[in-house]
Homo-oligomer: A and B are copies of this chain.
Amino acid sequence: MINSRLAVSVHILALIATHPDQALSSDYIAGSVNTNPVVIRRLIGSLRQAGLLSTVAGKTGATLTKDPHDVTLLMIYRAVEPKETLFSIHDQPNPACPVGRDIQSTLNQSFTRAQQALEAELGNETLSDILHRLVRAR
């Protein structure tokens, strides 16, 4: 199972987007997400590094640097997910065995395709889509 960093990050960005007039503190956001403020600040740090929002140290709040239409879930995912490959492959299979020798590269092809399909789908969904569905959900 993939970690919840993407889920929490979307939550953070949705909060900021729906409160354009208010400066939301990491404490406030943590209250909505139900976690520790430091967890929020760390994710915001990654999102800032990815150019999705900007903050000023010491100053409350963060502002989106892109239009929600132009922010895909894939961009958010990549911002907070350090690992490039989705599936792990066991290492050091026996090179003396014909299967062991080539299993890694073979699996890698399949896994790469699957990952690309996942990422294509994440790339098709924007923060704007999320915001619209949040409103409609009421």
Contacts and interface: CB of A to CB of B under 8 A. Distances in A.
A1 interface: yes
A7 B90 contact: yes
Contact of A14 (B89, B103, B109): B103
Q: How many copies does the complex hold?
A: 2
Interface of A: 1-4, 6-8, 10-11, 14-15, 18, 31-35, 73, 83, 85-94, 97-103, 105-107, 109-111, 113-118, 120-122, 125, 129-130, 133-134, 137-138
B88 A1 contact: yes
A33 B125 contact: no
A85 B1 CA distance: 7
Given A15-B99, A99-B14, A102-B134, A93 B1 contact: no
B103 A11 contact: yes
A108 to B, nearest CB: 9
A118 B114 contact: yes
A87 B117 contact: no
Contacts of A114: 73, 118, 121-122, 125
B100 A32 contact: yes
A105 B130 CA distance: 10
